[in-house]
Each structure stands twice: as structure tokens, then as C-alpha cells.
Amino acid sequence: MENEVKNILYVTTRLPWPLIGGDRVNIYNYLKELKNKGHKITLVTLVSDDDDLIGALDHSEFYTKLVPVKFNKKFAYLNAVKAIFSDRPFIVEYFYNRQMQKVIDDELATRQYDLVIGYIIRSLPYIQKHKNIKRIVHLCDAISMMYERRLKEKPSLFDRFKIGIEYIKVKNYEKKACITSDKQVLISEIDKKYLAKFANVSNVEVIGFATDTDYYSPIYCKKENNICFVGSMQYIPN
């Protein structure tokens, strides 16, 4: 990203607060770093918990403006049924919210933005039609690779059928993300190599996770048989 200050619209289906789970930590630090560099961040996000929103409003270090949109699970489940009849994956339809779409459309129509960034493929429907502005999709992982691995582990024909359909849809949607956005971001070369099997990865940039050792100073002491894992066990790869 260039040195001049950018006015950025960041779209995510998950409020990055509190800092639990890899997604939230990732988004939080990504936005915090952008803001520290002087960029102006308008964060449009779905919110499912009012207490989380109250906490986020007290921590403006990762955004300039916060635009919350209420996430309704009942509507989300009804929305997900549409995935049966559309080319969108279940994980995309479930998080599609018309009110959020209107908020994003209004923001881009009434304010001057230099860049719009969407977090993972769930964000693609919200930003893909806005062709007059640079769009980045932070894919993070190659989700289709996860589904392919799950297919190999499932002995049940019914499970393989369900996962197989979603796998094909996710794969096509990741391919679409590489076509309809200006740049895509993945977490590793492994994900990029996998995506390259079926998608154009010429605009893919790999930005891996790391630890700031200036902030988190190593403490050298002898510990035996200690494992620290930070991540959500609801996320299947974990």
C-alpha cells in the first residue's frame, strides 16, 4: 500500500471484538496497523452481541468510524436456504444481509473512498458490484482446500454429497473472487499454490501471521510438555 493516507472502507461479517478467536485477532491487528499508519478506517460489520458492540465502541484504536449492522440468525437461516438454489455457497448466503448491503452501497455513494477491503469470501457479494473503486478481498485461507480434506475423511455418502456440493460452490466462488476483485490476500504460499490449480492467482499477495517480538518479548525458561493453542475449536481445521 502506498505511503499516502487512504480512506478505507473495511467490510466484515464478524465484529473484531472481543479478541477471541483467530478471525477477530487477525482483523483487529490488521486494522490497527492500518490506522497506526495514518489511514482512515470505516468499519462496516455485522454484530450479533450488543455487549461486544459496547466493548468495541470503547476501543477505537482499530477504526475511525464504526458502522454496526444487527445480525439476525433467523433471517440468516432463511437466507442460507437460498444456497440450495443458487451458485453461492452456504457460508456466503448465511452471512448475506440486505441491510448491510444498503449501508455499504450508501457509504460508497455518499463518501469518497480510495479502497474497499472485504474479509474472506463472505464479503464478496457486498463489494463485487462496485467496480469504480479498488477492491481487495482478504481471503485468508483457501477454504476449498479445507472442504477437499473433509471429503476424504467422511465415510458417509450423504455427508460426502453435502460437503461435495459446498466444495464445488466454494471453489467456484474463490475463483470468482480472483476475477471480480483487484487484489486477493492469502495467509500462506500453500493456500496460494492450491488456489492456483483452478484460479488466476496473479493478483494474490501472501501476508502471513507473525508475532511482534518487540511487544511480546521472549521469556527464556525451561518448560516441559507445555502446549499453548490460541484458536476457535468451532473452526474445523483447528
Cα separation, 238 vs 235, whole angstroms: 6
Longest dimension (CA), the chain: 58
Q: Which pLDDT score, from 0 to 100, does residue 174 have?
A: 98
Give Cβ neighbours of residue 29 (< 8 Å, ≥ 6 apart).
62
- Better-scored residue on pLDDT, 44 or 153: 44
Condensed to tens digits (0 to 9), the pLDDT of residues 206-237 reads 999 888 888 887 777 777 788 777 777 777 77
Give the count of domains, the chain.
1
Q: What is the CATH number of the domain that holds 91?
A: 3.40.50.2000
Q: Using CB atoms within 10 Å of the CB of residue 144, give its burial: 0 to 12 exposed, 13 to 18 middle, 19+ buried.
A: buried
Specify if 113 maps to a domain: yes
Specify if 144 maps to a domain: yes
In angstroms, what is the C-alpha Rg of the chain? 19
CB of 200 closer than 8 Å to CB of 179: yes
H or E element, residue 12: strand 7-12
Specify if 230 maps to a domain: no
Give Cβ neighbours of residue 93 (< 8 Å, ≥ 6 apart).
79, 80, 82, 83, 86
Specify if 214 maps to a domain: no
Q: Domain limits at 80? A: 7-206
Residue 1 has pLDDT above 60, yes or no: no
CB of 196 closer than 8 Å to CB of 213: no
| Closest residue by Cα to residue 52 from 10, 24, 15, 12 | 15
CA angle 75, 101, 105 (to 5 degrees): 165
Specify if 81 maps to a domain: yes
Q: Using CB atoms within 10 Å of the CB of residue 203, give its burial: 0 to 12 exposed, 13 to 18 middle, 19+ buried.
A: middle
Task: Give residue for cell 499453548.
Answer: 228
Specify if 162 maps to a domain: yes
Average pLDDT rounded to a whole number, residues 120-142: 96
Q: Which pLDDT score, from 0 to 100, does residue 238 have?
A: 72
Condensed to tens digits (0 to 9), the pLDDT of residues 47-99 reads 999 999 999 999 999 999 999 999 999 999 999 888 899 999 999 999 999 99
Specify if 67 maps to a domain: yes
CB of 168 closer than 8 Å to CB of 146: no
The model's pTM? 0.88
Three-state SS at 195: helix
